[in-house]
A and B are shown apart, each in its own frame.
Chain A
């Protein structure tokens, strides 16, 4: 087994922004590794660069500098994406497809054989509670149902690495529980996950390690208890100082 499923080494990312296309630094010299068999939580205030880090890992955008390896291969090797499951932060699934059609479609694009897709889709749709409505267009689904379907598509290829970007935002308790179970099951099977979330209680409950980003920089990365156990405080209290610049803290 490899020791890290994702590895970022001195990674930076600049985006052109605004009318003048001025470059904005979204990530600045980040070095981070997601160890095998662990769940790593990625937290930070808005515009800290969390989603950018995820997009870089999944080749949705390209790094300006640095090296990224995914499942032991350079990020450009798209073949390794077959071992990754992903939930996007504000995902919109094709509303004209049915749940069954969506899983068949995404399974094909993932390179899975048709028979395997059908076997897994049956189990997954049952697991997320959509088996009885799998032939209905997604347009008729509630938001919670769409999120459960998003979870099913992420698990379809039995991924070695799960990447969840704000998976529980706006979810009801049942759907949230399903996401938790998926992550716990992932770890139980010796697989890994990267969880981006603002829900720090969830991160504290689920994650073995936590990475804190602020303004594109990694300000903490280590085991979750290292942040919380010392003073016996919650993760929410523990990371709060890390969310602010030092000069802002002076007046606190």
Chain B
């Protein structure tokens, strides 16, 4: 097949995936989750100054509950602002005090949506809901005719993988873009950093969906794909966190209670497997979350000692994904139906 024919094949596999998701209702389930979050963002109002200080300047402010904040006159003379704004949710149903200014309040909401809703719950649910796509596509009765077409098997497998990624990308764009737009329109605060969560969430999903793909071509079982990918995510998270926890306990190395062999074994496991916790740290840093949330102590210690290498971690996770994709394509290409 020529390059153009291969491109058309992949395009149709992507379209087929979208139609499959529409027919199975998964498209609408994810869309409803996004619409709920977008509606929540559209219900937000913030009654507070946009920012307490100009970019690059440090703001002097006091929380309203601070004892020094009672003497307003003194605070005003000192050029200290007392934070008094509020944020309402649910079209005014819930009123919350703002910790600083409107920009920080909106940023806080965006962090909850990106790190809480999308990166953990959303990712695992997307893995579960899309786990059936490949086994159903690879079922012998469904795929026999496609296998008798000139398109190579690796193209069919990778095309379907791209299709599922396209499906997740569309929903990530809808979720992140929709909540960003809703918050922006309602509050006038357009924090573009939040948009970084789209590519990072997609990379995170792609890495773990590649394992689901290997299970799908090996077993053609939706149940195994669902449980296998969740268990694999948990194992990787455990290995990732375990490595950081052991390192955090091992500073200085001379006083470490872990043997050198155990640490080496953990290092090998850490660098071999995908690193979901590291991807979370990358997202945390990309969204500049440090101003709103305190990072897990273990992660902070490892970062402070220079043992966290975001680019190497990301590259190693992506390398693992490509190895799994190659193994899946190889397995599928040599499979007898």
Contact = CB atoms under 8 A, between A and B. Distances in A.
A60 B147 contact: yes
Interface stretch (B18-26, B221-229, B257-265, B267-275): B18-26
A105 B141 contact: no
A105 to B, nearest CB: 5
Contacts of A9: none
A84 B148 contact: yes
Given A15-B336, A109-B151, A96 B146 contact: no
A31 interface: no
A246 to B, nearest CB: 31
Contact of A81 (B12, B24, B149): B149
A61 B332 CA distance: 11
A97 B16 CA distance: 8
A67 interface: no
A94 B142 contact: yes
Interface stretch (B1-9, B103-111, B178-186, B201-209): B1-9
A196 B213 CA distance: 34
A91 interface: yes
B84 interface: no
A105 B151 contact: no
B11 interface: yes
A69 B241 CA distance: 55
A91 B337 contact: no
A25 to B, nearest CB: 14
A110 B149 contact: yes
B330 interface: no
Interface residues of B, number: 30
A207 to B, nearest CB: 21
A114 B15 CA distance: 15
Contact of B16 (A92, A94, A163): A94
Contacts of A153: 145
Contacts of A94: 16, 19-20, 142
A88 interface: yes
B11 A108 contact: yes
B144 A96 contact: no
Contacts of A139: 23
B12 A111 contact: no
A101 B148 contact: no
B65 interface: no
A80 B150 CA distance: 7
B139 interface: yes
Contacts of A58: 147-148
Contacts of B334: 62
B152 interface: yes
B148 A108 contact: no
Contacts of A228: none
A108 B145 CA distance: 13
B1, B2, B24: most-surrounded residue (chain A CB, <10 A): B1
Given A60-B144, A114-B8, A139-B23, A82 B337 contact: no
A59 interface: yes
Given A62-B336, A95-B23, A97-B19, A111 B1 contact: yes
Given A86-B145, A91-B145, A94-B20, A111 B151 contact: yes
Interface in B10-42: 11-12, 15-16, 19-20, 22-24
Contacts of A108: 5, 8-9, 11-12
A236 to B, nearest CB: 28
Contacts of B11: 108
A145 to B, nearest CB: 17
Contacts of A61: 336-337
Contact of A101 (B19, B24, B151, B156): B19
A223 interface: no
A86 to B, nearest CB: 4
B144 A91 contact: yes
A215 interface: no
A81 B336 contact: no
A190 interface: no
B23 A96 contact: yes
Contact of B5 (A84, A90, A111, A137): A111
Nearest to B19: A96
Interface string A108-150: 1111001000000000000000000000010100000000001
A88 B144 CA distance: 7
A90 B23 contact: no
A96 B22 contact: yes
Contacts of A137: 23
A55 interface: yes
Nearest to B149: A109
Contacts of B1: 79, 111
8 contacts: A86-B148, A92-B142, A94-B20, A96-B23, A109-B12, A109-B146, A111-B2, A111-B9
Interface of A: 15, 55, 58-62, 78-82, 84, 86-88, 90-97, 101, 104-106, 108-111, 114, 137, 139, 150, 153, 163
Interface of B: 1-2, 5, 8-9, 11-12, 15-16, 19-20, 22-24, 139, 141-142, 144-152, 156, 334, 336-337
- Enumerate the 7 nearest inter-chain pairs by beta-carbon distance, A residue then B residue, closest first: A96-B23, A61-B336, A58-B148, A92-B141, A88-B144, A108-B12, A111-B5
